[in-house]
Amino acid sequence: MKIAIVGYKKQERLAQGVINDEDADLVAFLTRKGLDVVPAIWNDEAVDWGNFDVAVLKSPWDYHNHLTDFSNWLDKLEKLNVKVLNPVEIIKWNSNKKYLKDFALKGLPIIPSEYLDKGASFDDHFFDLFGTENLVVKPCVSAGAQNTVIVNKSNLKERTAEIDEHLKTADYLVQPFVEEIKNGEWSFLFFNGKYSHCSLKTPKQGDFRVQHYHGGSISYPAPNPLHIEQAGEYIKSLPQPTLYARVDGVVIDNTFRLMELELIEPYLFFNGDDDLLENYYQALVALIS
């Protein structure tokens, strides 16, 4: 069985601050376990995808900038009867942050969210709607805090013009700024529905973005078992099993609240730890056997 470990054309910006080459570590580990794995770039026209039995989406980190091409590529894999992990239906659903509505309808805690469709206009009623002094406005299809805007009443005029310009080409999500993000964003990692490990990403002083390439720091404190259980509820609600899932959120009043569910290309914080790589391997074998 030939397995593609799918990545992207490397950009140094996205790898900045990462100690381990996680993809290389994973390929080496799975090879040692006896699997026939090959790194492949999702939009490399030289790749013959028909040669693979399984395509594992590991790090197609630029997919959101090429969403139509990415969707067409997923369709191509299905036509070739390549097993895709995570499943194509799940990936397409997860590519648009409107999926948060589905969790809200199921009664699972999320950060309160409203949506602006492409062509709409932003205004100040969201401050009263959420009872907040600060708003976060971001694209429904994005990654890494791309085009994310913080709005308050002092910069409202300037930011409204910026957001309305963005709205000419894309749908946007509006949320209250969550002060708890300053304490860090938890990432809980699950492989085939089973909890593996977690990390805490903390923004640098004066910023809100937790990504390492925006200056955020990463630590590995022991999590509260209650919050692990709460994070697992989002995974249990999915219609299909997933090889990997990273549940990102903040703890507010001792309740884990989802910010994003990463099912397409999350960094998995293996840090070269064989025990964590083993968890991934066992999940992969279970899903392809």
Q: What is the CATH number of the domain that holds 123?
A: 3.30.1490
122 in the same domain as 77: no
Among 120-129, 211-220, 255-264, the range scoring the smallest mean pLDDT is 211-220
- For the chain, the C-alpha Rg in angstroms (whole number) is 19
- Angle CA 127–182–177, to nearest 5: 15
Where does 145-191 show beta strands of DSSP type E?
A: 149-152, 172-176, 185-191
Answer whether residue 71 shows pLDDT above 50. Answer: yes
Residue 215 has pLDDT above 70, yes or no: no
> Does residue 120 sit in the same domain as residue 202?
no
Q: Cβ(133)–Cβ(152) under 8 Å?
A: yes
- Angle ∠(33,54,10) on CA atoms, nearest 5: 85
Q: Which domain holds residue 264?
A: 99-109+180-268
Specify if 284 maps to a domain.
no
Distance in angstroms (rounded) separating the CA atoms of residues 254 and 196: 21
Q: Sorting pLDDT into bands at 50, 70 and 90, what band is 13? A: very low
CATH number at residue 211: 3.30.470.20
Q: Are residues 226 and 201 both part of a single domain?
A: yes
**Co-location of 191 and 171 in the same domain:** no
Domain shared by 222 and 196, yes or no: yes
Q: How is residue 120 annotated by DSSP?
A: -
Residues 23, 147, single domain; the answer is: no
CB 19 within 8 A of CB 53: no
276 is a domain residue: no
Q: How high is the pLDDT of residue 183?
A: 85
Check whether residue 135 and residue 152 sit in a common domain.
yes
The stretch 249-277 carries a mean pLDDT of 96
Residue 280 lies in a domain: no
Question: Within this chain, do residues 196 and 252 fall inside the same structural domain, yes or no?
Answer: yes
Edge-first strand order for the sheet with 54-57 is 36-41, 2-7, 54-57, 83-85
Residue 34 above 70 pLDDT? yes
Judge if 129 and 75 occupy the same domain. Answer: no
Domain count, the chain: 3
Establish if 288 belongs to a structural domain: no
Q: Are residues 186 and 169 in the same domain?
A: no
User: Do 213 and 105 lie in a common domain?
Assistant: yes
What CATH number has the domain bearing residue 9? 3.40.50.20
